Amino acid sequence: MGGPRHAETYPGNLRAAHPVYRAPVLLRQLEPRTARTTAEVIKFALWPLAVMTVLNRVFIKAVNGFITDDYKPVYNASLAFLNGRPVYTANFDSVDPHYLYPPGGTLLIAPLALIDPEKSRWCFILLNAAAILLAWYLLLRLFKYTLKSVAAPALLLAMFMSETVINTLVFTNVNGCILLAELLFLHLLLARRDLWAGAVLGLSITVKPTLAPLVLIAAARGQWKVFLTAIGVPVALTAAAWPLLKDADQFFTRTLPYLLETRDYFNSAIAGNAAYYGLPDALTWGIRLTMAALVAISLWLLYRYYREDELFFVTTSAGVLLTASFLLPGLGQMYYSMMLFPFLMTVVLRNSVLRNWPAWLAIFGFMSYDKWLSDRFQSLGRNLEYLRITFGWGLLLIVVFCVLGDRYLAARREGRLPFGIDPVWMKNAPDSRDAAEPAAVAAEPLPDSPRSHYGSEPVEEKRISVEQ
């Protein structure tokens, strides 16, 4: 009557009776009000796992190192270069890592020896880790994902759980920088910034020719200006380094012939494993030529029917070319597989050739950090460990050929070849590049939405959150 009115007697004023607790920003992260979808929950779970895995790989595993040390010969060669001593003096009769960079690459990496070996190695580890992280971000953006998507922590965790990233950091080699160069090249190529794309590719080739096959993609797209800088940069850097190196000619007369040989150790190429197991040359060449034919057919189908789908064509063709370059020539090492991350990411695309279990069985073969050496079954374990990379690369190329070949044959049978080879149902399949996305409902409750005592979701509100 004359006393104060009690809010609880008025159902329409529940918000006044039970004020919602507003936590500070930091505490709010412990109970985020937007985690209302499976994707949101997975994202919150994956981020700490991904971040802690990165820290472990960079500051524990990499700093600890391993018996294999790819950095020591690089540092010693850089030190010899700065002091005017011969650089190409490696003993190729040993199985220890050798210094194999060309003169232009020697010029680029020479500053590594300006400080003591331990601190220099730590700096190089951090440089590669930073390059991998930047490549991870560029890979997300290439496929139109953001750091707020569930793909961000999932991809980061997958990359730093892989053998290729772990051993690149632990052995301390330059592959992280090469991966960054690949992602920059793909972005610039798709943006039609040809001279810059070629310059980035040329810098990577100057140090290590791993990405050289990618010039074929530029040729297929008619981006001929890429060749000007992709060739010009290595030539210019080699010319600049030549008078500064005491034995520059030794790279071409001594080191290059060694690089072209097929060795039977630390070599997962077909020829390397064939040499290790003593396969006849005729059988080895038969396997290599058969695989080369499958690659050629796959690339033709990609060029003929997919070159207008730029992202799919560039990333898938790059994956096929690079996998073939690891498997078919004389030398292929497991951690080269880092360059296949853009190809593996195509699984999110509607017409991906990787949406099947044999493809991921193959990927497990060359990406997994698991060791298959067995104390009890030594021969079997050794064979599984040595052959899984070769079989993985080979199976991946076979899967691509079979998927594209099946699409082609089905389209020809149904008279759809003039319209492409994608099945009819594929246009409705999920694709990360779909432009039309349902708008997410705001996380804040509607002004008149009643809430429970603990600030739970409004009774009538339906919240949709679509993760890109």
pLDDT digits (tens, 9 = 90+) for 142-155: 999 999 999 999 99
Closest by alpha carbon to 198, among 144, 239, 243, 236?
236
Please give the structure tokens belonging to residue 381: 């374990």
- For residue 44, pLDDT beyond 80: yes
* Tens-digit pLDDT profile for residues 216-262: 999 999 999 999 999 999 999 999 999 999 999 999 999 999 888 88
Instruction: Tokens 């060669």: give the residue.
Output: 77
- For residue 106, pLDDT beyond 90: yes
- Mean pLDDT, residues 3-26 taken together: 48
Residue 229 CA: distances (Å) to CA of 193, 194, 223, 226, 358: 12, 9, 12, 6, 39
Give the per-residue pLDDT at 308: 93
Give the per-residue pLDDT at 431: 78
- Mean pLDDT, residues 21-34 taken together: 56
* Tens-digit pLDDT profile for residues 80-99: 999 999 999 888 888 888 89
% of the chain residues with pLDDT over 90: 74
CB of 298 closer than 8 Å to CB of 404: yes
Of residues 428 and 408, more confidently modeled = 408
Give the per-residue pLDDT at 265: 85
CB of 365 closer than 8 Å to CB of 387: no
* Tens-digit pLDDT profile for residues 254-298: 999 988 888 888 899 999 999 999 999 999 999 999 999 999 999
- For residue 193, pLDDT beyond 80: yes
Q: Where are the alpha helices (DSSP H) in 213-309?
A: 215-220, 225-241, 249-250, 256-260, 270-277, 281-306
* Tens-digit pLDDT profile for residues 357-402: 999 999 999 999 999 999 999 999 999 999 999 999 999 999 999 9
Q: Detail the DSSP E strand segments found in 109-175.
A: none
Give the per-residue pLDDT at 15: 46
Of residues 64 and 464, more confidently modeled = 64
Least confident residue range of 53-62, 134-143, 432-441: 432-441
- For residue 169, pLDDT beyond 80: yes
Least confident residue range of 62-76, 197-211, 445-459: 445-459
Closest by alpha carbon to 346, among 187, 43, 49, 144?
144
Give the per-residue pLDDT at 94: 81
- For residue 68, pLDDT beyond 90: no
Query: What letter represents residue 261's amino acid?
Result: E
Distance, CA of 370 to CA of 390 (rounded, Å): 15
Give the per-residue pLDDT at 435: 41
Query: What letter represents residue 157's amino acid?
Result: L
Q: How many CB atoms lie within 10 A of CB 434?
A: 11
Q: How many CB atoms lie within 10 A of CB 132?
A: 26
Q: How many CB atoms lie within 10 A of CB 118?
A: 10
Give the per-residue pLDDT at 34: 54
